[in-house]
Amino acid sequence: MSAARVSREARVRMMAAVAIVCTLSAAPLTPRDLVADTPPYSETYRPQFHFTAERNWMNDPNGLVYYEGEYHLFYQYNPNGNSWGDMSWGHAVSADLVHWKQLPLALSYDDNEMVFSGSAVVDWDNTTGFGTKKNPPMVAIYTSHNKSTGIQAQSIGYSTDRGRTWTKYQGNTVIDIGSKDFRDPKVQWYEPTKSWLMTVSLSAEHKVQFYSSKNLKDWKLQSEFGPAGATGGVWECPDLFPLAVDGDPKKTKWVLVVNINPGGIAGGSATQYFVGDYDGKRFTAEDKGTYTPPTGTVVQDFESTDFGSWTTTGTAFGTAPAAGAVDGQGAVSGYDGKGLANSFHSGDGTTGVLASPSFTVDSKYLNFKVGGGRHPHVDGTVMEQGPPPAGTILADFEGGAYGGWTATGDAFGAAPATGTLPNQQEVSGFLGSGLVNSYRNGDSTTGTLTSPEFTIDKNYVNFLVGGGNHPVGSENPTAVELLVDGQVVRSTTGQDGEALDWASWDVKDLAGKKAQIKIVDMNTTGWGHINVDHIMLSDAQAQPVSQETSVNLIVDGKVVRSATGADSEILDWASFDMRPYAGKEAQIQIVDMNTAGWGHILADRFTEADAPAKSVVQRAGWADHGKDYYAAVSWENAPGGKRYMIGWMNNWDYSGAIPTSPWRGAQSIPREMALRTVDGRIRLTSQPVNSVTSLRQGHPASAAGTTVKDTSKTLIGSAAKGKALDIEATFSLRDAERFGLKVRTGANGEETVIGYDTTTQELYVDRSHSGAVDFDSTFPGVQTAPLRAKGGKVHLRILVDWSSVEVFGGSGEAVITDQIFPDPASQGVQVFAENGSVKLDKAVVWRLDSAHK
């Protein structure tokens, strides 16, 4: 994958579509991890049994191969910093997939190329001639990203000393189709044809290509697969492998893994899979048939010549339903009948709201179709930017000079900017005619801009901010900092968009302190700049303006349910669970407050029903339903014919903002994969690699036969607590609506909830109150995975590490992986039941030792 960062920035710049929802922190994002005398691998959030590099940025696993007693894990790595860049292959080896030894850099970037994702094989028959049959070479097949042209092509390198040193092939590249979106080759030996098989992605086209070779140098295209399944983002890091169904070697199916970003099941990055057959040339996915949504009562289908009793504000929706696409818009599809709500009237520059009359909630679900821009609703935003709150202006950057502010470097120039700079997207949202804008000569410049000292004599510091999302604590921040006694006590960054929006710091606890504002741009990569204006002290908090394109359910004046598009003109099903609001007055609002790229929303066919409709994304196959499992690929040559898979435990939505240092990025626990028939369908399942049990300490704490009703209570007592745990629990269903376990519980309501919803038959993880969640608006929330109880029982296996939870439900058919960043003192484990009772048949809790010892 490796190019996800490049692709993501390119898409954002082209679309100018990212809403500015500022990252705020009540304390600096620079964590305790930065204390100089903290020993390696003991930092606050450092995983204890998941692989992390000692220092610097890491993303996709690469080159997974087993050779001479060692599992090799290569990975996308920046040898020069804690943010994405200078991509190379880091390297580690393990004998058991749990205890890892980090080795020197394997394949390094150079002046011409970055070394993006790929795979590795052992060339047993020396088909390449790089070694001998007695000493077969290990061959890496990677995507070479040309730094001057952006072209992605496939290259190879080799090692004849068990992967310790590497040589790039002088004849590189071995496949070049002239594409900037052609990457992540996964290569294996295909015995029936005595040839090498490469699976590689055409990422922007949502296709996978299959090539064959006799020598790993000369390749022939065999076939393509796709588009299919979820296509809301680029396709990356494909993998193809056979597995026996239900353990029967006579019944084998092939699994095609396609990682997608964004557009995953939980938002952002995720790992999709298809089950089917491979005949040596072509992969054919199993036909799932057509989808029929639940029947119900249609309350608005936009088939009339006007909006009826629905009302509009603004001009975005026009005066009547649209008959498909409107002027200047691409083809629109997926709507029912002849009409739909379409806010593209006069393009993306218009805004407005289309609202239903109030109604009494008397159905279980509200199903509808939605498309258009991917700009979610963010709590705390307002529909219109009013005047700034009353207060003291510290700087409005008018008058053509910085006044008493001190500049370093060359990013900020000699005076404030007067708007958009050369080659920059349109900058908006600032007040007056001047602002701070560090896009001087593009993103390549760096510097700081520091205010004179002032006294904090009001409750809030308010300011407008936009630009790049590179927080304090990352290697190269673009941020606004509040300094007290020279220390960063508050910080904020943009969200990769040029529109400025209000941000606020609550500074009541700093009353009377002397302070300074420091605007920092130390980043030279994409979105490596910052926009700032109208810094002021006030007793009132400024509220950011909505940038959403969304369908919202309003109850008691608040947005309680929301859905957005996927940056696509294709409408797809979405559903609101209405059961919590039965009998209440509600309203539907279709909202377009965005004027940038994809700044419009499409909606159709609102239907009251007894069951939820499912989108294409929900109907797709997912190896993991959490937010933090991406770029997953599997090991070749694993002993015993096992198929082990590992993924990058992060999400491109916020990967550069997670509060870790001096490292950023972790790998999931390796998982043993299997195909099982679940509810009549063949599903890809996974379980943690068995060797993780070697970390279990002493005797476990256990409980059995406990009934819990309408409460949360400590599980087993003080024996069942810790920062690194292995938990197995089995529940018998009674009448509770929801039940499960809470881990990493602590003061101030800190908890990560791992539960089961009996009404939706879903496993879920709620990390809304899991600790530090405010570094990105997409981080807090709830992830769900379908899981049916078996024989009235639900079984859970939970791995808790210092900054993650991995939950395996049932036989591994429901898996949720989420990062968490709790206070180190939050170590409790609780059992809970809501709206009824549940029986905890048995729970066993092991404390896990560190794999770093």
pLDDT digits (tens, 9 = 90+) for 488-509: 888 899 878 898 999 999 899 8
**pLDDT value at position 718?**
64
Q: Is 106 helix (H, G, I), strand (E, B) or coil?
A: strand
Q: What is the pLDDT of residue 37?
A: 61
Confidence (pLDDT) at 33: 39
60 as an active site residue: the answer is: yes
By DSSP bridging, strand 219-225 and strand 514-521 are: unpaired
State the average pLDDT over residues 327-335.
96
Burial of 326 (0-12, 13-18, 19+ CB in 10 A): middle
In angstroms, rounded to a whole number, what is the distance separating the alpha carbons of residues 594 and 351? 6
Per-residue pLDDT at 25 = 33
Give CA 274 to chain center in angstroms.
Answer: 21
* pTM score: 0.85
Cα 369 to Cα 433: distance, rounded to the nearest angstrom: 42
Q: How far apart (Å, rounded) are the C-alpha atoms in residues 270 and 630?
A: 5
So what's the pLDDT on residue 711?
87
Q: Report helix, strand or coil for 831.
A: strand
DSSP secondary structure of 263-309:
--TTSS-EEEEEEEEE-SS-EEEPP-----PPPEEEEE---SSS-TT
733 pLDDT above the threshold of 90: yes
Q: How far apart are CA 370 and CA 563, in angstroms?
A: 8
Q: What is the pLDDT of residues 125-163, one digit of tens each?
A: 999 999 999 999 999 999 999 999 999 999 999 999 999
Q: What is the DSSP string of 38-103?
A: PPTT-STT--SSS---SSEEEEEEEEEEEETTEEEEEEEE-TT-SSS-S-EEEEEEESSSSSEEEE
| Span 269-282, average pLDDT | 97
Average pLDDT score over the chain: 92
Q: In this predicted structure, what is the pLDDT of residue 489? A: 85
Percent with pLDDT over 90 in the chain: 83
- Residue closest to 786 by CA, chosen among 766, 827, 816, 806: 816
**Is the pLDDT at 768 greater than 90, yes or no?**
yes
Among residues 708, 725, 702, the alpha carbon closest in space to that of 822 is found at 725
Phi, psi of 539 (to 5 degrees): -90, -5
Question: In this model, does residue 243 exceed pLDDT 60?
Answer: yes
pLDDT recorded at residue 650: 97
Which residue is catalytic, options 37, 60, 457, 533?
A: 60
HSE, side-chain direction, 13 A CA sphere, residue 315: 7
| pLDDT over 60 at 269, yes or no | yes
Whether residue 19 is predicted with pLDDT greater than 90 in this model: the reply is: no
Q: Phi and psi of 732, rounded to 5°?
A: -105, 125
What are the tens digits of pLDDT across the range 776-803? Answer: 878 999 999 999 999 999 999 999 999 9
